[in-house]
Amino acid sequence: MRLLVLALGSFAIGMDGFVFAGILGDIGADLDVSTGAAGQLVTVFALGYAILAPVLAAATGRWPRRRVLLTAMALFTAGNVVTALAPNYGIALGSRLLAAAGAAMFLPNAAAGAAALVPPERRARALAVLSGGNSASLVLGAPFGTWLGGARGWHSTMWVIVGLGAVAMLGMAISLGPIPAGPVSGLRDRLRPLTDGRVLLIQSVTFVAFLAAFTAYPYLGDVLAPAGADHGGPLAWALLVFGFGAVLGTTLAGRTVDRFGADRTAVLAVTGITAALLLTIAARHAYPAALAVLVLWGMTGWQIVVSQQHRLISLDPTNAPVIISLNGSAQYLGVSLGGALGGASVGPLGGGGLTALAAGIGLAACVLVALSVRRTVAPDHVTAAPKASVPVTAVEC
């Protein structure tokens, strides 16, 4: 129950992030701004998360982790209430910062809390359950929110996210007891892990991998235009297939890490992302082939989340919330800068050129992950165990 409640919070935050791609036009028309300007709501959220995560981790370091999680979800829910009620563009932008503050507090502490709620040999699977909430928002939350926004207006979508946040907050208040917390430290101490070359390289892998993926993903309609999937039903199915791959990747990530180790899983995931981008250059002309590649893209893209978190926790278990929050900052920086780079490049390069650019960034991520594995001195502490070979959904809460 406890892990599932945390996963619901992760689902709400994921839906909030992914659904905007499907309702930006309606938001722009309602707030009397262009779709491009409406897209800055996503950028503000991502940058706000990246900047606020380490700052809020330091500010709330002395709080019990249960209080941090409840406060985080309250801020996130309140931010979305303001977004749903926003009378103008400026207030909507400010509301995204409030929601980002809640997300920046919640996700690192939820990941560290999930790891603390289970024995060490089941840590990877607990992280997979939590990450599964986020990836499920791709296959369920974003398509549903896009449909609801078209049928009932974008405000209805925001109110659904508010409802999910409220239910998650209530569930945590009922089910969560004391959760072991790490040592208290200030902002300088919390940024100190970046002076560790191993940590910095792992964070760099996260940043560049998400930069590669999200240079192309927000503009999937342009990428798949030759296959007739630039809008409507074909594009919706493409997004759904991508989300299915993300859920599959997250489900398999726990088993893969347990069996092969987090380092090897990270290498496989980054290589898979790059291969998917390269294959998309050719597959974008044939819709069935493009759908098959999107499964690989989504599956490998979300395996990187679990493997990177596990690698960082293995390096410094007592400082887990700090290094996970920094990893989240790297992830959201990659998302925001990838979207900005893609937006500036899709016009002059077209969908094919944009995908090639993303694949080139993926090759750089492959080099970085290989370097990070060589620099990682601490071995993976989790190995396969017969009794741990249960499905992720069967993890005891």
pLDDT single digits (tens) 13-49: 999 988 876 677 788 889 998 766 777 788 889 888 8
Cα–Cα distance measured from residue 176 to residue 73, given in angstroms and rounded to the nearest whole number? 14
Q: What is the largest CA-CA distance in the chain?
A: 58
Residue ranges covered by each domain of the chain = 1-180, 193-382
Instruction: Kindly provide the b/e burial profile for residues 291-326, where b requires at least 16 CB atoms within 10 angstroms of the residue's own CB.
Output: bbbbbbbbbbbbbbbbbbbbbbbbbbbebbbbbbbb
The alpha-carbon radius of gyration of the chain (Å, integer) is: 20
- All residue ranges of the chain with pLDDT < 50 are 377-397
What are the helix (H) ranges across 19-153? Answer: 20-31, 35-59, 65-85, 89-116, 123-136, 142-152
Phi, psi of 117 (to 5 degrees): -85, -10
CA distances from 43 to 38, 102, 262 (A): 9, 16, 30
What would the two tokens of residue 162 be? 């508010």
| Same fold yes or no, 1-180 and 193-382 | yes
> Is this structure's pTM higher than 0.75?
no
Instruction: Kindly provide the b/e burial profile for residues 26-46, where b requires at least 16 CB atoms within 10 angstroms of the residue's own CB.
Output: bbbebbebeeeebbbbbbbbb
pLDDT for the residue numbered 232: 61
pLDDT one-digit tens code per residue, 296-342: 998 898 788 888 888 888 887 777 767 877 887 888 889 888 877 88
> Domain spanning 1-180 has what CATH number?
1.20.1250.20
CATH classification number, 193-382, choose in 1.25.40.420, 1.20.1250.20, 3.50.50.60, 1.10.3720.10:
1.20.1250.20
Cα–Cα distance measured from residue 188 to residue 35, given in angstroms and rounded to the nearest whole number? 39
Cα–Cα distance measured from residue 229 to residue 113, given in angstroms and rounded to the nearest whole number? 41
Selection from 258, 188, 221 nearest residue 354 by Cα: 221
